[in-house]
A and B are shown apart, each in its own frame.
Chain A
Amino acid sequence: MRTLTFARRNFKEIIRDPLSIIFAILLPLFLLFIFRQFKIPNEIYNIENFTPGIIIFSLSFITMFTSTLVAKDRTSSLTARLGVSPMKGVEYILGYSLSVIPLVLIQNILFFILAIILGLNFNINVIYTILVSLPISILFIVLGILIGTITTEKSSSGVSSIVVQLVAFTSGMYFSLDMVGNTFSTICKILPFRSTLNITKGILNASYNNLSSSIIIVLIYTIITIILAVFLFKNKMTSDNK
């Protein structure tokens, strides 16, 4: 119950400061549209491959504004007030996460509407992809909580933009990772972003081979990030207070 109360407040807080959401939705929509106009002869830019890329890319914006929300609460002493209340670390993480998930859903639906207008075939896999992107978004949300916990309101978006860059360069959404050198391709395999794209792409195109290793990688990252976020958030609560 406490978690829901907190989530409801966070949701209101986010939608009443709509600039960041508009950005997180419009920019990916624009990219999806514009890259279709270029007609680049590479299968990566086929609509059924590029749309999952845009989904993962947009999740990195979710990281960005989750981190800003968390950092803002910390600077404004609201976290101090909540820190005195009987709220638990896990309830914070859940409360922040639940409030952001509806936005992920809205993002996804809009991306697919545009993609279908641009020629994507509508079938049941679209629905599956949307459903699968929700658990994937948890990694990005918690990453945002983690960043918001260790940064300030000012530096949070700067640090989160690293995630945005990492997604762009290591997920394989803009270029095939086979084209690049060995070291870089290894880095991409170690980071979770390529795996998140593999999963969404696989689901949308109903090609389920080789998904298990991607799922395991994303799962491991998600679990580690959650543990780290809960731990650091609790720690910060009792040490932050200037």
Chain B
Amino acid sequence: MIEIDIKDLTKKYKDVVAVDNLNIQIKKGEIFSLLGTNGAGKTTTIKILSTLLLPSNGEVKINNFDLIKDKMKIKEIINISPQETAIAPNLTVLENLEFMAGIYQIKNKKEKIDTLIKTFNLEEVLNKKAKNLSGGYQRKLSIAISLINNPQILFLDEPTLGLDVISRKELWKVIKELKGKVTIILTTHYMEEANSLSDRVGIMNKGKLIALGTPNELIKKSKTKTFEDAFVKIVTGGLD
């Protein structure tokens, strides 16, 4: 079943076309990675899909809701961990979770928060103010918050940026556990991450989608050994 249907999606800023005629269909429960060098248009795409930014052109259906007309219905079933960590700086970790649980009016609030604390190993920093956390913990908190409303669709914009190897592996585990239950659209610059997590990847370059498929398909297509080599070859135009 198609959960996200993107048709001819375009976003123009004054003199840049940040997203150029994008067409992608994402299946329910799929982990889809958007890849591309800096400025490729990944964040802009995620912002549009998560209702933060209006497209200049094109049509998007999420769970059969229209992205613009049924915005409020879509908001109920999605969540995001933005590229920059988004937390309330003067609140503690626990207060941050309680705050967002309140914003989403979560019913079994305490239970949900306890689960997230365990999942992300936040016990020892629970009463620390968010602004005093290390970058890694801030990011973990930001991602934990994005699961507070049990989203059906989750957008993760560079979720592992700034995480150490251990935390990154832990987060992979969390993401893998969500596989099949939550549709996840993520962006990353770590190719081994994209390779190990994603069902499919889409590679963007200058706003355009230039490759789409499973990591293995792209390795085959580009006649390379690793996914990272495949990515480099595709982005530098070695495919044609």
Q: Decide whether A and B assemble into one complex.
A: yes
Residues of A bordering B, CB below 8 Å: 1-2, 5-6, 8-9, 12-13, 16-17, 72, 76-78, 80-87, 237-239, 241
- Among A9, A12, A82, A87, chain B packs the most CB atoms within 10 A around the CB of A9
A16, B86: Cβ atoms under 8 Å? no
- A76 touching B89, Cβ below 8 Å: yes
Stretch of B24-32, B44-52, B113-121 at the chain-chain interface: B44-52
Is B103 a contact of A83 with CB atoms below 8 Å?
Answer: no
Of A8, A9, A72, A81, the contact of B145 (CB 8 Å cutoff) = A81
Bound Cα distance from A161 to B104, whole angstroms: 36
Number of A-B contacts (CB under 8 A): 82
Are B79 and A2 closer than 8 Å at their CB atoms? no
Residues of chain A lying within 8 A (CB to CB) of residue B78: 84
The docked-state distance in angstroms from the alpha carbon of A84 to that of B85 is 14
Say if the beta carbon of B228 comes within 8 Å of chain A.
no
Q: Which residues of chain B from 36 to 94 have any CB-CB distance to chain A below 8 Å in the complex? A: 47, 50-54, 72, 75-76, 78-80, 82-91
Question: If A78-B86, A78-B87, A84-B80 touch, does A2 touch B103 (CB 8 Å cutoff)?
Answer: yes
User: Footprint of A on B, CB under 8 Å?
Assistant: 47, 50-54, 72, 75-76, 78-80, 82-91, 95, 99-100, 102-105, 129, 145-146, 149
Closest chain A residue to B103, Cβ basis: A85
When chains A and B are docked, how far (Å) is the Cα of A5 from the Cα of B217?
48
- Do the beta carbons of A13 and B102 come within 8 Å of each other? no
**A1 CA to B105 CA, complexed, in Å:** 8
Central interface residue in A13, A77, A237, by most chain B CB within 10 Å:
A77
Is A238 a contact of B88 with CB atoms below 8 Å? no
* Given A13-B88, A87-B103, 8 other A-B residues pairs in contact with their CB atoms under 8 A: A5-B102, A8-B99, A9-B88, A9-B99, A81-B82, A84-B50, A84-B51, A241-B52
- 7 closest residue pairs by CB, A with B: A5-B102, A77-B86, A81-B86, A16-B90, A77-B84, A86-B75, A13-B90
Specify the chain A residue showing the minimal Cβ separation from B78: A84
> Which residue in A12, A76, A82, A86 is a CB contact (below 8 Å) of B76?
A86
Beta-carbon contact of A80 and B72 below 8 Å: no
Find the residue from B52, B53, B146 having the highest chain A CB count within 10 A: B52
Question: Contact check: which of A5, A76, A86 meets B86 at CB < 8 Å?
Answer: A76
B52 touches A84 (CB 8 A): yes
Q: How far is the CA of A77 from the CA of B46 in the complex (A)?
A: 14
A1 to chain B minimum Cβ distance, whole angstroms, is: 6
Interface of A is mostly: helix
Enumerate chain A residues within 8 angstroms of B84, measured Cβ to Cβ.
76-77, 80
Is A81 in contact with B80, judged by CB distance below 8 angstroms? yes
Interface pair B75/A85, CB less than 8 Å apart? yes
Q: For B83, list chain A residues within 8 Å (CB).
A: 77
CA distance A12 to B92 in the complex (A): 10
Which chain B positions have C-beta within 8 A of A16?
90, 129
Task: Knowing A5-B99, A12-B90, A87-B103, say if A239 contacts B80 (CB, 8 Å).
Answer: no
Give the residues in chain A near B80, CB-CB below 8 Å.
Answer: 80-81, 84
Cβ–Cβ < 8 Å partners of B79 in chain A: 84-85
A2 touches B105 (CB 8 A): yes
Some 17 contacts from A to B, beta carbons below 8 A apart, are: A1-B102, A5-B103, A72-B89, A76-B84, A78-B86, A80-B84, A80-B86, A81-B82, A83-B52, A84-B50, A84-B51, A84-B79, A85-B104, A86-B72, A86-B104, A238-B54, A241-B53
Residues from chain B with a CB closer than 8 A to the CB of A1 are: 102, 105
Question: How far, in Å, is A87 (CB) from chain B's closest CB?
Answer: 6
A82 to B91, CA, bound (A): 15
> In the assembled complex, how far is the CB of residue B148 from the closest CB belonging to chain A, in whole angstroms?
10
- Give the docked Cα–Cα distance between A13 and B99 (Å): 12
**Bound form: Cα–Cα A78–B50 in Å:** 14
Report Cα–Cα, A43/B162, bound state, in Å.
Answer: 63
Contacts of B100 in A (CB 8 A): 81, 85
Q: Once bound together, how far apart are the Cα atoms of A81 and B83, in whole Å?
A: 11
With a cutoff of 8 Å between Cβ atoms, the chain B residues found around residue A72 in the complex are 89
Q: How far does the Cβ of B71 sit from chain A's closest Cβ, in whole Å?
A: 9
List residues of chain A with CB within 8 A of the CB of B50. Answer: 84
Residues in A with CB closer than 8 Å to B87 are 76, 78
Give Cα A233 to B100, complex, Å.
20
Known: A5-B99, A237-B52. A17 touches B104 (CB 8 A): no
